[in-house]
Structure 1
Amino acid sequence: MNHQELDHYLRKLDQIEEIQIKTGENVNDFDGNELVVESEGTIPRMQDFYFFDNGPVFINKHHRFANMPLHIHSFIELNYVYSGICHQQINGQSVLLEQGQICLLDQDVPHSISALGEQDILVNIIMKKETFSKIFLGRLSNSGIVADFLANAVSENQKHDKYLLFHSQHNKNLQYIIKNIFCEFFSKQEHSLVMVNYYLPILFTELMRVYQLDKNFEFHKKTSRANIVDILSYIEQHYRDCTLTAIAKEFNFNPNYLGNMLKERTGKTFLELVHTQRMIHASTMLQHTDKSIDEIAYEVGYESPSFLYRKFKKHFGQTPSHFRKNKK
């Protein structure tokens, strides 16, 4: 399936849509007694066992022409607007999704979807929570404090609305990637699911870039100074010998204000961020070089190897020696 064939496939009326366009009423196209059970309240909860017979990821086109009632589900869901617009109520908030945008919904967040018109095409990517965590948090969170900050954005958001809206409509690379994912899944070729699983980390990496740009825009609306990602990038590059006072001077901040902002935005103090970055570099050298632990301690900014030992064991739960041995 190519992109043109995908477009025809998504725009064509399916059996459910043929019914809904006549009645305007939502049709449950599953064996509802198994799929939907009552939650603790009165909101139906979709279970995950129906969707994942062939793997931990499932993709489907949302049926048009009828309202999708309020519901929750036991899996992670990405809503992608392939065409047109989509009105949703998410956790009590009215949310408008435009063509090319993605909304990431956490488990058990109440949401409903207004009837889609003929040109409004919404595609859902759903996955188990553990699959999402492995791809989005596991693979992307150990390459530096910037990636760590962005990868944990969803966890940070769980304290609030339990969803993230990505303004991805202008990211052509993301549009290309996600269409390729749909082509693989819907064509059901040999090894299609394997290809989908390879594409997903790339998709989430692009979403991290979109999230970074969104946060930068929000920050610049409040202040003309450097944004949090710029500051974290500076720490990443100068972790060996940077000080809070030097960074505050570099970005024209009061040191106390900068320290409080870092704690508020990342959940870590300045020193914790520095030590985290040192641990990341130390672990990389332990895995990929033959340098001694004394040499590594000096290279990441510790004058005493014993200090590296203490920090490393606290961070990774094992000594540098055991870490190197277990990674070989």
Structure 2
Amino acid sequence: MPWNCDTEIDHALEKLGQDFPHLNWDFSPDPSSGNNELISHWLGEKSEEVMVCAFKGKKIEERFHRQDFFFIHFAYHGDYDALSANYNNRITVKEGDCYIGQPYSGYAVKRDSDHECIILGILIRKETFFREYLSALSADSSMLNFFLEPQKNKYAEEFVHLEIPASSPIWQLLNVMILEYAHKTEDSQKILKPMVMSLAMYLSYEYKRQHLPTGTTLIDRIMEYIESHSDSVTLNDIASHFGYHPVYISRLLPEKTGKTFSALLAESRMRRAKLLLDHTDLSIEKIADMLGYSNSSNFYKAFKQYYGTSPRQL
């Protein structure tokens, strides 16, 4: 399991656990909700964009609240219960599990046991996430929809619950982050932010492995591959990945889908383009780059051909 009683890690967790009650806890009502929703604001220092926190104890009874940042919680040692969206939705997050929450998603941790539990939290400012991490996850439509939901629905109720294998590099990465944050220096944010990017990529992989259906036919698998690699995929990439000649793939796709590789790739990119245009304030140039276009003029041309209007008009 993830907790291995390493002395240095244990001391760092002990420090984070002692710091936990003294974070910037501020549960204040949000008048815009109309329901006296309690909002928890950023728990760290104003200068921080990501942070690592840890609850270490036997009992915790959080008030049901929402928060204005993304959070990733890990059941690092022991199990705990989480209330999501409303008091009727109680799930058990078992040791080794991960719970990802959107900004403003309802949440509360509940635990009352004779055995100690360690809940590790990675917190990311909303603005930082959209600026620095969204592009790395944009190749996966399902994950992209999950992370963009708070942009169109402030009080989103979605969460992701994953089981992280004990052999996953995620645990080693988290241990380094624990040590770095427990003994912070002026360079800690520069060190931690790239680690959060790696963490997001590993979690995206686990999400796809555990939640997305895996096609059983060759054409299903090829379509999944195009969707997951639409920013850079070529016919030669597909042929090499699946062990076929590019000419065979180029004939198979129209035969099974009625569309050429170029048309399928354009569809995948355009779906993602509309999501990003509708729900982020990213520049058109940045979106074009994220989608794999060599320049924005090519993106403009492809977008207008597909939707009949320019990205700016949309």
TM bucket normalised to smaller: 0.5 to 0.7
Equivalent position of 1:176 in the other structure: 172
Distance 1:7-1:67 versus aligned 2 partners, 3 A rule:
same
C-alpha deviation, 1:46, in angstroms: 1.1
C-alpha deviation, 1:192, in angstroms: 2.0
Is the counterpart of residue 76 in structure 1 residue 70 in structure 2?
yes
C-alpha deviation, 1:187, in angstroms: 1.5
Q: Where in structure 2 are there 5+ consecutive unaligned residues?
A: 237-245, 274-287
Q: Secondary structure, in 3 states, of the residue corresponding to 1:164? A: strand
CA distance in 2, matches of 1:199, 1:12: 21
Is the counterpart of residue 229 in structure 1 residue 236 in structure 2?
no
Structure richer in strand, relative to its length: 2
Is the counterpart of residue 149 in structure 1 residue 141 in structure 2?
yes
Specify which of 195, 198, 201 is matched with residue 191 of structure 2.
195
C-alpha deviation, 1:130, in angstroms: 1.0
Equivalent position of 1:322 in the other structure: none
CA distance in 2, matches of 1:309, 1:70: 45
Equivalent position of 1:24 in the other structure: none
The letter for the 2-side match of 1:154 is F
* Bigger Rg, which one: 1
Distance 1:314-1:193 versus aligned 2 partners, 3 A rule:
farther
Is the counterpart of residue 166 in structure 1 residue 166 in structure 2?
no
Q: Secondary structure, in 3 states, of the residue corresponding to 2:181? A: helix
C-alpha deviation, 1:238, in angstroms: 2.2
Equivalent position of 2:252 in the other structure: 246
Which region of structure 1 is more displaced relative to structure 2, 151-160 or 91-100? 151-160
TM-score normalised by the chain length of structure 2 = 0.66
Q: Write the deviation string for residues 166-201 of structure 1: whole angstroms up to 9, x where unpaired.
A: 222345211111111111011124522221112111
Q: Secondary structure, in 3 states, of the residue corresponding to 2:60? A: coil
Equivalent position of 1:303 in the other structure: none
C-alpha deviation, 1:101, in angstroms: 2.2
Q: Secondary structure, in 3 states, of the residue corresponding to 2:252? A: helix
Specify which of 28, 40, 47 is matched with residue 37 of structure 1.
28
Q: Would you say the 8 A contact 1:109–1:162 is kept in 2? A: yes
Identity of aligned residues (%): 15
Is the counterpart of residue 124 in structure 1 residue 127 in structure 2?
no
Q: Write the deviation string for residues 204-246 of structure 1: whole angstroms up to 9, x where unpaired.
A: 1111111111134xx25xx744456335358733299999983
Distance 1:308-1:129 versus aligned 2 partners, 3 A rule:
closer
Equivalent position of 1:56 in the other structure: 49
Equivalent position of 2:280 in the other structure: none
Root mean square deviation, CA, Å? 4.3
Q: Secondary structure, in 3 states, of the residue corresponding to 2:64? A: strand
CA distance in 1, matches of 2:23, 2:208: 38
C-alpha deviation, 1:79, in angstroms: 0.7
CA distance in 2, matches of 1:157, 1:78: 16
The letter for the 1-side match of 2:44 is F
TM-score normalised by the chain length of structure 1 = 0.64
C-alpha deviation, 1:67, in angstroms: 1.4
The letter for the 1-side match of 2:80 is C
CA distance in 1, matches of 2:117, 2:147: 30
Greater RCO (CA < 8 Å, at least 6 residues apart): 2
Q: Write the deviation string for residues 13-54 of structure 1: whole angstroms up to 9, x where unpaired.
A: 96699xxxxxxxxxx75676xx22113323321122x52323
C-alpha deviation, 1:84, in angstroms: 1.2
Specify which of 268, 276, 279 is matched with residue 273 of structure 1.
268
Distance 1:12-1:58 versus aligned 2 partners, 3 A rule:
closer
Which region of structure 1 is more displaced relative to structure 2, 67-76 or 306-315? 306-315
Q: Would you say the 8 A contact 1:100–1:175 is kept in 2? A: no
Q: Write the deviation string for residues 66-99 of structure 1: whole angstroms up to 9, x where unpaired.
A: 3112111111111111111121111132222222
Q: Would you say the 8 A contact 1:157–1:164 is kept in 2? A: no
Q: Would you say the 8 A contact 1:99–1:169 is kept in 2? A: no
